[in-house]
Amino acid sequence: MEEKVQKSIVDVSLDRELDLVVAYKKAMQLAELSGLNFTEQTKFATAVSEIGRNALSHAGGGSVAFYISKEGSHYYVEAVVTDTGPGIRDLGALLEKISTQPDGQRTGIYNCKRLSDRFEMSSSEGSGTCVRIGRRLTANHPPINHMILAGWRKHFSQLAPTSPYDELKRQNDLLLKTLEELRLSKAQTQEQLEEIQSLNLGLEQQNARNQQLSNERAQQNELLKKRNEELDEFAHIVSHDLKAPLRNMKALIQLMEKGRMHNPAESMEMMKNQLQKMEVLIENVLTYSRTGHEKLDKTQVNLNKLLEELVAGLSRPQTFSIEIEPDFPIIYAEEILIYQVFSNLIINAIKYNDKEAGHITIGYEPTDSKGNFYYYVEDNGLGIPASKREKVFKLFSVLHKLEGVESTGIGLAIVKKIILEKGGQIWIEDPRLSSEGSRFCFTWPAETIL
């Protein structure tokens, strides 16, 4: 067996004077069980009682744990008395002082040391005191193994109480032990709960990160889809719309080579027209491709002033009238973009108006009680059937082909792209101010200043 047995055989808590009696009897019983004679039993039990009394007197209580230990070939019955009192500042000096005092003045510590074959004492200020008391068993004592020690522990656990107090103390100790086990179990449960909560928090944070990554991936996929659609549109431009003027010029050149063009000035004018058409188309395509990619500063935009300046610079027939409703709000937005939207819508309304007395009304109406508006440009022109209203916003879509009206089919596509990029919506309604024509409506999320 090991020199020091870690698990005690029996324990006694020292809370009051009667506990010293219980400790004394347990010491006698274990010494007898270990094979010591009555004199040796009494010496051991007396030493335990004296040191226990010191723990009660100076520390307010403590505990006694009984062991069997082995040193070399000798076995010892031991009692370890511990307390959590104030401790002894200079233990060495105290023991030295005790050893030099006359016999009549020596304390219980000295007498206990005389009664013991092994006596060890440790203490420091603020950390309590521990005293180990041991009586050596006979040299020819049979070996004591762990099975024997387990039997002795069981013996003491089943031993009948020596007094009513011993029975009450046993029950109290059992209750305290149960409460301590419950406390430890509760602490362990709380620790496990905190660990579970920590894991849950970690999982929630990881799920939030995963959701964020998923949202970012969805946004990137949407952006990629959008860019692919733009690439498809440009492929269409290169393969069809930009080639059309080139094919026309090639046909003119071939006719000139064959001598079939008898008027060189007319031929050159036709080629200039085709070049100009190509230039306008390329410029519009570049405008469309740049929409939404440029970072523009926001400013206060007086919409009445912007619309008046825009309308004043437009070329239109003398019989064509444009009405701007008063008191447009002043908004905080990118001025060039809102200018492009109104400009394209108004020019389109002029270009596709077949009436001699053409008329356009530009106004706004509230959409809710929070100060949000939708804006409209209404004309009395050709009108757009409900079934074709979505089509007019597609790139290169030309619904009406009028004599003398050149159109690339990009203007309304630019308008829709600008508005959607800013988080707004655009749609077409039937006119409200006349029996014919169209009303182009759009929202523009912007902070209304006035």
CA pair distance 348, 431, nearest whole angstrom: 15
The pLDDT of residue 4:
46
352 in Cβ contact with 398 (< 8 Å): no
Write the DSSP string, 156-225.
HHHPPPSSHHHHHHHHHHHHHHHHHHHHHHHHHHHHHHHHHHHHHHHHHHHHHHHHHHHHHHHHHHHHHH
Residue 171 lies in a domain: no
334 in Cβ contact with 371 (< 8 Å): no
The pLDDT of residue 434:
85
Residue 77 lies in a domain: yes
Q: Is the pTM of this model over 0.75?
A: no
Domain boundary among 129, 159, 189: 159
The secondary element (H helix, E strand) that includes residue 275 is helix 264-290
What's the pLDDT tens digit per position in 359-416?
A: 999 999 988 777 778 999 999 988 888 888 888 888 666 666 655 555 566 778 888 9
Residue 253 lies in a domain: no
Those residues whose C-beta lies under 8 Å from the C-beta of residue 284, and which sit 6 or more positions away, are: 408, 410, 411, 414
What's the pLDDT tens digit per position in 144-172?
A: 988 999 999 999 888 877 667 767 777 77
How large is the average pLDDT for residues 188-212?
91
Question: Phi, psi at residue 69, to the nearest 5°?
Answer: -125, 170
CA pair distance 382, 352, nearest whole angstrom: 7
Residue 183 lies in a domain: no
Residue 205 lies in a domain: no
**158 or 236: which leads in pLDDT:** 158
Tokens 């004077």: give the residue. Answer: 17
Residue 132 lies in a domain: yes
Residue 115 lies in a domain: yes
What's the pLDDT tens digit per position in 403-444?
A: 555 556 677 888 898 888 888 999 999 999 888 899 999 998
Does residue 255 have a pLDDT over 80? no
Q: How many domains does the chain have?
A: 2
Structural domain boundaries, residue 339: 295-448
* CATH code: domain of residue 24: 3.30.565.10
- Beta strand pairing call for 299-302 and 129-136: unpaired
Distance of CA 169 to the CA centre of its chain: 54
Residue 236 lies in a domain: no
Domain boundary among 128, 159, 190: 159
Q: Do both 299 and 444 map to the same domain?
A: yes
How large is the average pLDDT for residues 100-116?
70
CA pair distance 444, 419, nearest whole angstrom: 7
Q: Do both 300 and 155 map to the same domain?
A: no
Domain boundary among 115, 130, 159: 159
**317 or 40: which leads in pLDDT:** 40
